[in-house]
Amino acid sequence: MNAIQTQVLVVGAGAAGFSAALAAARNGARTLLVEDHGFLGGLSATMTWIGFHDRDYRQVVQGLGAEFVRRLQEEGAASEYVLDPKCSSIVSVDTHRWKCLAMELAAEARVQLLLHTRVVDTLREGERIRGVVIESKSGRREIHASVTIDASGDGDVAARGGVPWNKGRTGDGLVQSPTLVFRLGGVDRPKFIAGCRDQGLNYREWLRPYPNLWEKMMARIEDTPVIICGGFAPLVQRAHDCGDLHVPQTRVVGVKLHRPDQFLVVMTRVLGLDPTDVDSMTDAYQRVYLQVPELVEFFRRYVPGFADSYLLEIAPMLGVRESRRIVGDYTLTAEDLVQGKRFPDAVAMGGYHMDIHRPAGTWVESRNVQAYTIPFRCLVASGVEGLLMAGKCLSATHESLASTRVIPICMAQGEAAGTAAAMAVERGVSARELPIDDLQSQLVEQGAELGQSLGEPNHEMIERIGQLPLDEPLSSGDRDAVSQAPSAWIQ
Ligand SMILES: Cc1cc2nc3c(=O)[nH]c(=O)nc-3n(C[C@H](O)[C@H](O)[C@H](O)COP(=O)(O)OP(=O)(O)OC[C@H]3O[C@@H](n4cnc5c(N)ncnc54)[C@H](O)[C@@H]3O)c2cc1C
pLDDT digit string (tens) for 87-114? 999 999 999 999 999 999 999 999 999 9
Residue located nearest, by CA, to atom 48 of ligand 1: 42
The 10s digit of each residue's pLDDT in 193-232 is 999 999 999 999 888 889 999 999 999 999 999 999 999 9
From the CA of 264, give the closest atom in ligand 1. 8
Grouping H, G, I as helix, E, B as strand and the rest as coil, residue 291 is helix
User: Ligand 1 — pocket residues by CB below 6 A?
Assistant: 11-17, 34-37, 42-44, 47-51, 118-119, 151-154, 156, 179, 181, 266, 319-321, 391-392, 405-407, 410
Please give the backbone phi and psi of residue 384, each rounded to the nearest 5 degrees, phi first: -135, 165
pLDDT surpassing 50 at residue 484: no
Of 481 and 168, which is predicted with more confidence? 168
Residue located nearest, by CA, to atom 47 of ligand 1: 36
Q: Which of 65, 47, 109 is nearest to 265 (CA)?
A: 47
Cβ neighbours around 426 below 10 Å, total: 12
Give the whole-angstrom CA distance, residue 464 versus residue 477: 30
**Domain architecture of the chain: domains with CATH:** 4-171+322-465 (3.50.50.60), 182-320 (no CATH)
- In whole numbers, what is the pLDDT of the chain averaged over residues? 94
Burial (CB < 10 A; 0-12, 13-18, 19+), residue 469, is exposed
Which among 152, 156, 266, 318 is the best mutation to test ligand 1's pocket, defined by most ligand atoms within 8 Å of the CB? Answer: 152
Give the whole-angstrom CA distance, residue 213 versus residue 470: 14
The 10s digit of each residue's pLDDT in 358-409 is 787 777 788 999 999 999 999 999 999 999 999 999 999 999 999 999 999 9
Q: Could you give the residue ranges of the DSSP H alpha helices within 303-388?
A: 334-338
Question: What single letter denotes the amino acid at residue 183?
Answer: R
CA 46 to chain centre: 11
Q: Which residues pair with 357 in a beta bridge?
A: 364
pLDDT surpassing 70 at residue 169: yes
pLDDT band with cut points at 50, 70 and 90 for residue 490: very low
From the CA of 180, give the closest atom in ligand 1. 1
Q: Could you give the residue ranges of the DSSP H alpha helices within 166-249?
A: 189-197, 211-220, 233-241
pLDDT in the model for residue 441: 98
CA of 105 to the centre of ligand 1 (A): 19
Helices (H) and strands (E) in the chain, counts: 14, 21
Do 325 and 394 form a contact (C-beta atoms < 8 A)? yes
pLDDT band with cut points at 50, 70 and 90 for residue 480: low
pLDDT surpassing 60 at residue 481: no
From the CA of 352, give the closest atom in ligand 1. 11
**DSSP assignment letter at 222:** G
Give the whole-angstrom CA distance, residue 412 versus residue 430: 21
pLDDT band with cut points at 50, 70 and 90 for residue 475: low
Cα atoms in the 13 Å half-sphere on the side-chain side of 318: 25
Q: Which of 253, 208, 264, 275 is nearest to 468 (CA)?
A: 208
pLDDT surpassing 50 at residue 491: no
From the CA of 44, give the closest atom in ligand 1. 21
Residue located nearest, by CA, to atom 20 of ligand 1: 407
Q: List b or e across 168-197, with b for residues whose CB sees 16 or more CB atoms inside 10 angstroms.
A: bbeeeebbbbbbbbbbbebbbbeebbebbe
From the CA of 321, give the closest atom in ligand 1. 53
pLDDT surpassing 80 at residue 487: no
CA of 20 to the centre of ligand 1 (A): 14
CA of 155 to the centre of ligand 1 (A): 12
Please list, in sequence order, all residues whose beta carbon lies within 8 angstroms of the beta carbon of residue 435, skipping any fewer than 6 positions away.
none
Please list, in sequence order, all residues whose beta carbon lies within 8 angstroms of the beta carbon of residue 456, skipping any fewer than 6 positions away.
none
Which among 39, 40, 47, 136 is the best mutation to test ligand 1's pocket, defined by most ligand atoms within 8 Å of the CB? Answer: 47
Please list, in sequence order, all residues whose beta carbon lies within 8 angstroms of the beta carbon of residue 198, skipping any fewer than 6 positions away.
304
From the CA of 409, give the closest atom in ligand 1. 11
pLDDT in the model for residue 478: 55
Residue located nearest, by CA, to atom 8 of ligand 1: 48
CA of 279 to the centre of ligand 1 (A): 20
CA of 318 to the centre of ligand 1 (A): 9
pLDDT in the model for residue 486: 40
Cβ neighbours around 124 below 10 Å, total: 19
Q: Which of 162, 238, 242, 160 is nearest to 201 (CA)?
A: 238
CA of 221 to the centre of ligand 1 (A): 30
Give the whole-angstrom CA distance, residue 394 versus residue 411: 12
Give the whole-angstrom CA distance, residue 140 versus residue 153: 22
Q: Which of 364, 363, 328 is nearest to 347 (CA)?
A: 328
Q: Which of 188, 209, 331, 362 is nearest to 260 (CA)?
A: 188
**DSSP assignment letter at 409:** H
Burial (CB < 10 A; 0-12, 13-18, 19+), residue 446, is middle
CA of 405 to the centre of ligand 1 (A): 8
pLDDT surpassing 70 at residue 485: no
CA of 177 to the centre of ligand 1 (A): 14
CA of 153 to the centre of ligand 1 (A): 6
Residue located nearest, by CA, to atom 15 of ligand 1: 406
**DSSP E strands, 92-246:** 112-114, 118-125, 128-136, 139-150, 165-167, 182-185, 227-231
List of long-range contacts for 137-140, beta carbons under 8 Å, 24+ apart: 139/1
